[in-house]
């Protein structure tokens, strides 16, 4: 099933300001039936909120992402409301003076509306429908008085709820140890003679080693077994004369470092049960700790962070991402994104190590890795998109088939640390006019100098 493109469904220009989106879709509510109202309100909630809109646009552009169907759109709005309940709900309920029984009735009607909206969207395909198709039947109900656009309301207060530092991570990650966190069982290692601990997720796919810091400051490592291969999405490196995939994030000096490869095994892999220590399986929905390191185990992945520095990493079988400190609102489209740069400086290259460069070049490694005239959007969010012109070379064709000055896109993603700076650690080039789309499997590691 294809993504539902709300811009097409409602005939909106992608450059329309959130304020104008709010007013336009509010006007569409006039005379709309209950199914159409939910459809319009969902689109209004997503496209008029800068944070939600940035998340929606990024997923819409990712053809490999799970389909944006009616249920996915509802979950996107619900997650945002849950993360910022007072900012989203308080103005409507606190000032209206509506009795509780009436609110309960409205809640029931909204639940029914979700099912009706899903049926309508699935029946019509969700795309390329006339903007007023769902509103063709006049409703006898009185239209809802339009509220103010969300971003014209007062900024959410800290009480509006915590946010995750990166997508998918535990919401309180990067902060203090959660109340009720469980201490990991420890033992004194046979070789290092220091206090140590290990853990595995319930499926055994993700594991961590912890140890008391020695003279080198090393405190352990965490990794995803699935990435322990030469085709690791985290990149490769030469180890012992062989090319190995990077997959183990090193814990050094109270911080999460860059992933490295290994030829050996980890502590959780070769820890025998007969030496008195059994590697624990951390249960979903619970938090654990070893000294200043905290782990939150959830079904979608494992979140690790240090309570002194806030440095952490989210690990899952689909993706991993490092972060620095607790969650905060995602930057909106058009913000400067100050504090994050594009990878690290490349030898003889240009643009890398800078924020929002207008031209990038990996330093002669390939003419197809050059792009100029770049205009960036969503800089500072989980994925920034730059449009410019580059050199396209058809797959499985020699250099004589290259096409210069071809409109293309470069996507920068996987925020992390490069050369001591917060930076996007990967990029992908693609040319939509040639039938190409974003594919993380084609990512280039831009943390490593060439």
* pLDDT by position in tens, the chain (length 450): 678 888 888 888 888 888 888 888 888 887 777 778 888 889 899 999 888 898 888 888 888 788 888 888 888 888 776 665 544 333 333 333 333 333 333 343 444 444 544 444 444 444 334 334 333 333 334 444 445 555 544 444 444 456 888 888 999 999 999 999 999 999 887 766 788 899 999 999 999 999 998 756 789 999 999 998 888 888 888 877 788 888 899 998 889 988 888 877 787 777 665 567 889 999 999 999 999 999 999 999 999 999 998 999 999 988 899 988 887 533 333 333 447 999 988 877 889 989 999 889 887 656 677 888 888 888 888 888 988 888 888 887 776 778 888 888 999 999 988 877 889 999 998 888 888 888 888 888 888 776
Distance CA 169, CA 287 (A): 13
How many domains are contained in the chain?
3
Nearest to 342 by CA among 247, 442, 260, 444: 444
Within a domain: 171: no
What is the model's pLDDT at position 120? 42
Phi-psi region of 213 (alpha: psi -120 to 50; beta: other; left: phi over 0): beta
CA distance 211 to 221: 9
Task: Give yes or no: residues 419 and 347 share one domain.
Answer: yes
Q: Does the residue 167 lie in any domain? A: no
Shortest CA distance to 127 belongs to which of 69, 71, 78, 74? Answer: 69
- Taking alpha carbons only, the member of 335, 325, 429, 427 closest to residue 383 is 427
Relative orientation angle of helices 70-83 and 85-94, to the nearest 10 degrees: 80
Q: Are residues 310 and 396 in the same domain?
A: no
Both 373 and 252 in one domain: the answer is no
Regarding whether 284 and 213 lie in a shared domain, the answer is yes
Predicted confidence at residue 284, as pLDDT, reads 94
The dihedral over CA atoms of 329, 335, 339, 343, expressed in degrees to the nearest 10, equals 110
169 within some domain: no
Residue 329: its pLDDT value, please? 38
Q: Which domain-ending residue is among 295, 324, 353? A: 324
What the block records as the tokens of 413 is: 């993603």
Query: What is the model's pLDDT at position 367?
Result: 67
Which residue segment(s) compose the domain that 272 sits in?
A: 182-324
Looking at the domain assignment, is residue 1 inside a domain? Answer: no
């Amino acid at each position: 099933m294809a993504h539902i493109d709300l811009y097409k469904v409602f005939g909106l220009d992608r450059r329309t300001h959130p304020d104008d989106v709010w007013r336009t879709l509010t006007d569409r509510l006039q005379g709309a039936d209950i199914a159409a109202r939910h459809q319009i309100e969902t689109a209004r909630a997503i496209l008029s909120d800068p944070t939600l809109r940035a998340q929606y646009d990024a997923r819409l552009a990712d053809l490999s992402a799970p389909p944006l169907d009616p249920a996915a759109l509802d979950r996107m709005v619900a997650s945002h409301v849950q993360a910022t309940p007072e900012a989203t709900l308080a103005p409507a309920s606190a000032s209206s003076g509506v009795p509780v029984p009436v609110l309960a009735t409205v809640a029931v009607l909204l639940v029914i509306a979700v099912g009706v909206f899903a049926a309508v969207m699935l029946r019509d395909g969700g795309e390329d429908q006339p903007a007023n198709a769902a509103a063709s039947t006049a409703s006898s109900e009185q239209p809802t008085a339009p509220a103010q656009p969300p971003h014209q309301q007062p900024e959410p207060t800290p009480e509006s709820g915590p946010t995750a530092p990166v997508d998918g991570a535990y919401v309180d990650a990067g902060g203090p140890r959660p109340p009720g966190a469980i201490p990991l069982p420890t033992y004194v290692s046979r070789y290092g003679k220091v206090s140590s601990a290990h853990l595995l997720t319930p499926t055994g796919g993700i594991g961590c080693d912890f140890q008391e810091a020695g003279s080198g400051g090393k405190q352990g490592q965490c990794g995803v077994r699935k990435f322990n291969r030469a085709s690791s999405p985290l990149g490769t490196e030469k180890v012992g004369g062989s090319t190995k995939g990077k997959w183990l994030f090193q814990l050094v000096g109270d911080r999460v470092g860059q992933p490295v490869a290994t030829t050996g095994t980890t502590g959780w892999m070769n820890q025998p049960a007969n030496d008195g220590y059994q590697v624990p399986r951390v249960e979903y929905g619970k938090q654990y700790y070893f000294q200043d390191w905290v782990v939150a185990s959830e079904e979608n992945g494992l979140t690790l962070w240090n309570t002194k520095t806030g440095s952490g990493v989210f690990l899952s079988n689909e993706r991993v991402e490092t972060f620095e400190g607790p969650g905060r609102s995602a930057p909106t489209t058009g913000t400067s994104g100050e504090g994050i740069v594009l990878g690290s400086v490349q030898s003889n290259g240009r643009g890398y190590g800078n924020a929002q460069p207008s031209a990038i070049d990996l330093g002669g490694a390939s003419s197809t890795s050059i792009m100029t005239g770049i205009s960036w959007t969503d800089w500072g969010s989980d994925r920034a998109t730059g449009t410019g012109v580059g050199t396209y070379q058809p797959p499985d064709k020699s250099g004589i088939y290259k096409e210069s000055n071809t409109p293309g896109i470069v996507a920068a993603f996987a925020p992390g640390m490069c050369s001591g700076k917060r930076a996007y650690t990967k990029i992908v080039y693609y040319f939509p006019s040639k039938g190409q789309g974003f594919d993380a499997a084609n990512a280039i590691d831009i943390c490593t100098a060439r």
